Amino acid sequence: MAANKAKQASKASELRTKTDDQLKDRLVELKKGQFNLRFQQASGQLENTAQMRQMRREVATIKTIMGQRARATA
Protein backbone atom coordinates (compact mmCIF):
# COMPACT_ATOMS: atom_id res chain seq x y z
CA MET A 1 0.00 0.00 0.00
CA ALA A 2 2.79 2.43 0.90
CA ALA A 3 4.63 1.61 -2.32
CA ASN A 4 1.49 2.42 -4.29
CA LYS A 5 1.22 5.85 -2.63
CA ALA A 6 4.88 6.50 -3.36
CA LYS A 7 4.28 5.58 -6.98
CA GLN A 8 1.34 7.98 -7.17
CA ALA A 9 3.37 10.75 -5.57
CA SER A 10 6.07 10.40 -8.19
CA LYS A 11 3.38 10.37 -10.85
CA ALA A 12 1.97 13.66 -9.51
CA SER A 13 5.40 15.25 -9.46
CA GLU A 14 5.95 14.10 -13.04
CA LEU A 15 2.60 15.58 -14.06
CA ARG A 16 3.47 18.90 -12.42
CA THR A 17 6.47 19.26 -14.74
CA LYS A 18 4.23 19.14 -17.82
CA THR A 19 2.71 22.15 -19.52
CA ASP A 20 -1.00 22.93 -19.46
CA ASP A 21 -1.35 21.77 -23.07
CA GLN A 22 0.34 18.46 -22.30
CA LEU A 23 -1.96 17.96 -19.32
CA LYS A 24 -5.02 18.68 -21.45
CA ASP A 25 -3.84 16.19 -24.08
CA ARG A 26 -3.27 13.53 -21.40
CA LEU A 27 -6.73 14.25 -19.98
CA VAL A 28 -8.31 13.68 -23.39
CA GLU A 29 -6.38 10.39 -23.75
CA LEU A 30 -7.55 9.22 -20.34
CA LYS A 31 -11.18 10.11 -21.06
CA LYS A 32 -11.03 8.07 -24.28
CA GLY A 33 -9.43 5.22 -22.36
CA GLN A 34 -12.17 5.33 -19.74
CA PHE A 35 -14.77 5.20 -22.49
CA ASN A 36 -13.16 2.10 -23.99
CA LEU A 37 -12.84 0.41 -20.60
CA ARG A 38 -16.54 1.00 -19.90
CA PHE A 39 -17.41 -0.76 -23.14
CA GLN A 40 -15.09 -3.64 -22.32
CA GLN A 41 -16.65 -3.97 -18.88
CA ALA A 42 -20.19 -3.91 -20.27
CA SER A 43 -19.35 -6.63 -22.78
CA GLY A 44 -17.54 -8.73 -20.19
CA GLN A 45 -14.13 -8.43 -21.87
CA LEU A 46 -12.41 -6.35 -19.18
CA GLU A 47 -9.86 -8.49 -17.37
CA ASN A 48 -8.07 -5.93 -15.18
CA THR A 49 -10.75 -3.89 -13.42
CA ALA A 50 -8.10 -1.93 -11.51
CA GLN A 51 -7.33 -0.03 -14.72
CA MET A 52 -10.58 1.89 -14.34
CA ARG A 53 -9.61 3.04 -10.86
CA GLN A 54 -6.09 4.02 -11.96
CA MET A 55 -7.41 6.10 -14.84
CA ARG A 56 -10.02 7.77 -12.65
CA ARG A 57 -7.37 8.72 -10.11
CA GLU A 58 -5.00 10.07 -12.74
CA VAL A 59 -7.83 12.20 -14.15
CA ALA A 60 -8.45 13.57 -10.66
CA THR A 61 -4.75 14.31 -10.17
CA ILE A 62 -4.55 16.18 -13.48
CA LYS A 63 -7.68 18.19 -12.70
CA THR A 64 -6.29 19.04 -9.26
CA ILE A 65 -3.00 20.26 -10.73
CA MET A 66 -4.81 22.32 -13.37
CA GLY A 67 -7.05 23.86 -10.71
CA GLN A 68 -4.08 24.72 -8.52
CA ARG A 69 -2.39 26.43 -11.44
CA ALA A 70 -5.53 28.36 -12.31
CA ARG A 71 -5.90 29.60 -8.74
CA ALA A 72 -2.22 30.52 -8.58
CA THR A 73 -2.48 32.72 -11.67
CA ALA A 74 -5.77 34.36 -10.62
Q: What averages of pLDDT result for each successive group of 10 residues across the chain (74 residues)?
A: 62 92 96 96 94 95 96 91
Q: What is the pLDDT of residue 11?
A: 86
Residue spans per domain, the chain: 22-73
CATH says 22-73 is which class?
mainly alpha
Calpha distance 14→16 (Å, rounded): 5
Measured distance CA(34)–CA(28) in Å, rounded = 10
What HEC string does the chain produce? Answer: CHHHHHHHHHHHHHHHCCCHHHHHHHHHHHHHHHHHHHHHHHCCCCCCCHHHHHHHHHHHHHHHHHHHHHHHHC
